[in-house]
Chain A
Amino acid sequence: MSKPKLATVWLDGCSGCHMSALDMDERWIELASLVDLVYGPLVDTKEFPENVDIVLVEGAVSSEEDLEKIQKIRKQTKTLVSLGDCAVTSNVPSMRNRFPVPVVENRSYRETAQLNQQVPREVVPRLLPKARPVHEFVKVDVFVPGCPPSADTIYYVLTELLAGRMPDLTNLTRFGA
């Protein structure tokens, strides 16, 4: 029997949740015997694969690209985990939400740029009006708050899900933890 497929995704976040996952250290060796890591910033696969069992999603949905990705991910994944405060609450990425997108772009690409002051219209994905949590766009199965959730928390979530149980995080993590 083939191993369950695990993917990780990095939307609008700082990669801190992925760093925290890396902090599982040697426990990754144990995990490697339990799952196939098929997609993510740590894997050189360009397209999100079919029939993924568990996906850890870091980051808020902030751009048109994020939205396309998360919809595809939802279709092709059994268990979608919102990993960390950006995915769960939109957190720091939401701090731009009080400003209209043109104001944000102007600030980033013109006012504070020293060279080539123009808003990119190619390659860089267009921003959505607001950065929002993942569950406002697609169904989320497991919420793991924390900024970032600790390596222990992520390990617990993965091993519980792999054992077919729903992780209970009440006492393990919280918003801002």
Chain B
Amino acid sequence: MAKTLTINGQHVSAEDDQTLLEAALDAGIKIPTLCRLEGLSEVGACRLCLVEIAGSAKLQPACVTKVVEGMEVQTDTERLRKYRLMILELLFAERNHICAVCVANGHCELQTLAQQHGMSHVRFSYLYPQADVDASHDRFVIDHNRCILCTRCVRVCDEIEGAHTWDVMGRGTNSRVITDLNEPWGDSQTCTSCGKCVQVCPTGALFEKGKSVAEMAKRREFLPYLTLMRQQPR
């Protein structure tokens, strides 16, 4: 049964099991996202898609919130823009994102979102963490300096490739994506070297060897296609 709700004052009809984000997208209303990728499960990790729902003081992530009959949703208020900018600034402050010398410069979702949200500088003190680069794999590199822990690599490896080489280790700012049991990627027994993780990574954290500054454009067209052909319910 269809449900009716309003998003930014606009009447929207949504299917029963749709999320707010899907309903908004179907209605042509854009909500910024970062951890989300069409074809992968939703984890609500980045919090960029937070929306205001009338009657609730808490902000809800649109990607994992189901539509409810009569819901009144706001997706682009001053409060939300303020929080989104803050989230993006915290992501920049938490690792060493040096756009000027990054393989993904000009092709980076974090960089693009920062510009779209009018980020002129980062108001928080940079952490400058100790983050390493693992170039032990024959074809690919993981640079933890650029990782935002969106877990797209973890999900695509598990849900699409079926290898589950990637996972997350540690807590808070010490969290890192790891291959196998935190072993060098090149030594991984489970990695099939398919490269899906590299293509879905929104930043320059995962890239192909031999790519220099600004050369790492990602190819993601395969993902919705694979999902469709396998007819996996999402």
A residues lining the B interface (CB < 8 Å): 82, 85, 88-92, 94-95, 97-98, 130, 132-133, 135-136, 140, 143, 145, 147, 169-170, 174-176
- Evaluate whether A143 and B120 lie within 8 angstroms (CB atoms) in the complex, with A174-B114, A176-B105, A176-B111 already known: yes
**A–B pairs, 9, beta carbons within 8 Å:** A89-B92, A89-B121, A89-B126, A90-B126, A92-B98, A95-B98, A136-B126, A175-B119, A176-B105
Contact A133 B126 (CB under 8 A): yes
Q: Can you list, as one digit per residue, whether each of B216-230 has a CB less than 8 Å from chain A (1) or not (0)?
A: 000000000000000
Known: A89-B98, A176-B99. 15 other contacts (CB 8 A): A89-B92, A89-B99, A89-B122, A89-B126, A90-B126, A92-B100, A97-B96, A97-B128, A98-B129, A98-B130, A136-B125, A140-B121, A169-B120, A175-B114, A176-B111
Q: Does B212 reach chain A (CB closer than 8 Å)?
A: no
B residues lining the A interface (CB < 8 Å): 92, 96-102, 105-106, 111, 114-115, 118-122, 125-126, 128-131
Contact A170 B115 (CB under 8 A): yes
The residue of chain B having its C-beta at the shortest distance from the C-beta of A147 within the complex is B100
Q: Which residues of B contact A90 (CB under 8 A)?
A: 126
Q: Which residues of B contact A130 (CB under 8 A)?
A: 128
- Evaluate whether A132 and B100 lie within 8 angstroms (CB atoms) in the complex, with A174-B114, A176-B106 already known: no
A136 CB to closest chain B CB, in angstroms?
6
Contact A88 B128 (CB under 8 A): no
Interface centre among B111, B125, B126 (most CB of A within 10 A): B126
Contact B115 A143 (CB under 8 A): no
